A and B are shown apart, each in its own frame.
Chain A
């Protein structure tokens, strides 16, 4: 607790002690009014002076529905109708409630901050011979910074000296460390584990990954969900309505029955319950806590509204390559299989210098021969020559070009034909592997699934059968994809919610169009972060299940809070109007409910279990 909090608590305890003491004394000794009233006034001023000052300040600014002002009216009113003890008690419990509320808000803020504790506090800037600690936003592009073991990397950059292991857990939720060497790119927000790194900064702080992520999560508060907008609107009308009802409740029956103090007392109860604080604080807090939780799991959510809509998604559209599949090729088989070694070695010789994913998967298996001169024929393949020996490696266009005959062996798989000295030697079949957990995740999503692919019909058919996808569309050009999604969005019925999941780089238009766009955002890919509403930083499909749990839980907690808070308040209002309630109950409906709602919303911070 801070000094300010101790002072608050001290004030509350002291005034409560005096109030109880006075009440007991008054009960047994029947102290004369001219002695007891000044003492009551003193206690009242001691506990309530802050509220009084604030309300006077706000009323001078014309803010008549200020909660401090309403609290002042309620307590002063109670004083006038001679409910001294209650007036002071309400003030004490109001302050106590505010105290708990502040404390709970602070606690939850700290927990959320801890969840997102990836903001670097300083950077070690090299300035000539000396190293100076500065704020990360004071470092410029091209500056060189040092990152010591155990420190967070404050800005994106390139390692110019040193090597180390780096932990990217904060960015991706993945805890396996990976190693970086000179020339490698490092992303801010990762933690340097064991070596000292000299990093040349390539992006200023505001454009660095860590700040983008934090910005995104923090600004998610500005993209409000429907529940939050509802609360804002509700809050705007709730206080004025309750205040007007209070005035009517005091005046009309007051005139009729002439029993003023009773009806004024009931009306004052209304004023005590007139603040919608419980909702105004707890609902956005639930969303924010959940967004913090999700970011800890490597799921970035750009706004509370997406968390809300994801809970309603009943149609998932998947991009194939890189989303359902790994996006890397693997040699599946070789034809004819008895020439496996020869074919792979020839292909590896020809593909030696290539960076293409297909070439890489071949080079993983076969070792090529050296000394060949490689000639790439764009769109066809590679020809490798050494003295009298020539190797051909590519598609059917290449073989047609050199008039080499080959048997009819091409099927739906990705393939590479291999030939030598104008003779066909064999063929390598490759496939893009399906992610291990894809089938399980799709099954557990429990919704309609669709797959869009640019690949051949037969291949898409096979994958879609393997994964038990409801529908698929194959051989789509990028613009066809957008048209397909548009069609689906047009034909959806009310209450349907469509989510598109893609790998983010070429899917931008579709991601923007769908109700919820989720990208597989391989660490820090700007295009992915830009275009989608939710980013899965670790490319793991399982995150979808986590996200589903989180959104469901959040919406349940928000609903609980709304029903609980409004329910109790309305109940107390009715009881007060009928004269069955008192100020004690009213103050509970105000601050007690707020504290309970805040505590409930804190459950959003907890880790989700799959």
Chain B
């Protein structure tokens, strides 16, 4: 399953690349791409644990920078 989420407070292009790497490394994430200009991230993960994976992604992003909030 593939879904697109919004990212709040993604302020610099350089950080967007960093965030993409972080999300890609979250276990369960098959693929992720962060789009800086549109402040979005598309995450692909298996259907059965999609919700769990998203929770982990949110935590990982928050750990890197508390301002980054991922929402639907």
Contacts and interface: CB of A to CB of B under 8 A. Distances in A.
A137 interface: yes
Contacts of B13: 280-281, 284
A285 interface: yes
Interface in A111-137: 112-113, 135, 137
A221 B35 contact: yes
A277 B38 CA distance: 18
B38 A218 contact: yes
Among A109, A137, A221, chain B packs the most CB atoms within 10 A around the CB of A221
Contacts of A98: 11
A101 B40 CA distance: 19
Contacts of B72: 135
Interface string A396-420: 0000000000000000000000000
A109 B12 CA distance: 12
A288 interface: yes
Contacts of B2: 206
Nearest to A276: B14
B3 interface: yes
A326 interface: no
A112 B14 contact: no
Nearest to A54: B65
Interface string B7-36: 001011110000000000000000001011
Nearest to B18: A63
A56 interface: no
Given A102-B11, A284-B13, A109 B39 contact: yes
Interface residues of B, number: 16
A222 interface: yes
Interface in A147-206: 206
B3 A113 contact: no
Contacts of B11: 98, 101-102, 105
B12 A281 contact: yes
A603 to B, nearest CB: 16
Interface in B31-71: 33, 35-40
B37 A288 contact: yes
Contacts of A102: 11
Among A218, A277, A285, chain B packs the most CB atoms within 10 A around the CB of A218
B40 A218 contact: yes
B3 A109 contact: no
Contacts of B38: 109, 112-113, 218
B12 A285 contact: no
A280 B14 contact: yes
A309 to B, nearest CB: 21
Contacts of A285: 37
A221 B36 contact: yes
A537 B7 CA distance: 30
Nearest to A279: B13
A500 B8 CA distance: 41
A218 B35 contact: yes
A371 to B, nearest CB: 58
Contacts of B36: 221, 284
Nearest to A61: B64
B20 to A, nearest CB: 10
B19 to A, nearest CB: 14
Interface string A210-222: 0000000011011
Interface in A266-293: 277, 280-281, 284-285, 288
Interface string A498-509: 000000000000
Contacts of B14: 235, 280
Contacts of A218: 35, 37-38, 40
A384 B18 CA distance: 72
A222 B36 CA distance: 10
Contacts of A277: 12
Nearest to A113: B38
Given A105-B11, A112-B38, A113-B38, 8 more contacts: A4-B9, A109-B37, A137-B4, A277-B12, A280-B12, A281-B12, A284-B13, A284-B37
Interface of B: 2-4, 9, 11-14, 33, 35-40, 72
26 contacts: A101-B11, A105-B11, A109-B39, A112-B38, A113-B38, A135-B72, A137-B3, A137-B4, A206-B2, A218-B37, A218-B38, A218-B40, A219-B33, A221-B35, A221-B36, A221-B37, A235-B14, A277-B12, A280-B12, A281-B12, A281-B13, A284-B13, A284-B36, A284-B37, A285-B37, A288-B37
Sorted nearest first, the 8 A-B pairs with minimum C-beta distance are: A288-B37, A218-B35, A280-B13, A102-B11, A218-B38, A281-B13, A280-B14, A221-B35
